[in-house]
Amino acid sequence: MDQVVEILTIALGGETFALPAGIVLEILDIGPVTPVPNAPAFVGNLINFRGRVAPLADLRLRCGMVVAAPTADSRIVVLEFPFDGEPILAAILADKVYEVRCPGSARAGARNSCSASAGATTIS
């Protein structure tokens, strides 16, 4: 039997990307950010998430996409994932957040029961 994973789909630079839903903590409206001097441009800001500091990544810069101003649909996706045995808090900008999907269950005609399996993929 295939393992089914819940994914969150987001838009970024005209493309659709998927994140394992199990690593998504919260989806926020665009809010205040703190610039970080001398940081790489794609992680040049921090956010305060419930009293915790998280780097805010603009993956458009890392992926060579055109940078766009935030719109009414823009969101910050807050993530927590394991790295070297420790939980890491980070956030990414999204042009739009679509939905949580269970792509494997579409074959069976059902989208209501999924078993989540979180595995992080990194962009370097």
CA distances in angstroms from 86 to 53, 59, 80, listed in the order given: 16, 23, 10
124 residues of the chain, pLDDT tens digit each: 567 789 999 999 999 999 999 999 999 999 999 999 999 999 999 999 999 999 999 999 998 999 889 999 999 999 999 999 999 999 999 999 998 888 765 544 444 333 333 333 333 3
Reported as type and span, the H/E element at residue 61 is: helix 59-62
30 Cβ contact list (under 8 Å, min separation 6): 70, 74, 75, 76, 93
Which amino acid makes up residue 20? Answer: P
What is residue 108's predicted lDDT score, i.e. its pLDDT?
Answer: 42
CATH of domain 7-106: 2.40.50.180
Domain spans of the chain, in order of start? 7-106
Q: CA-to-CA distance for 99 and 9, rounded, in angstroms?
A: 6
What is residue 43's predicted lDDT score, i.e. its pLDDT?
Answer: 94
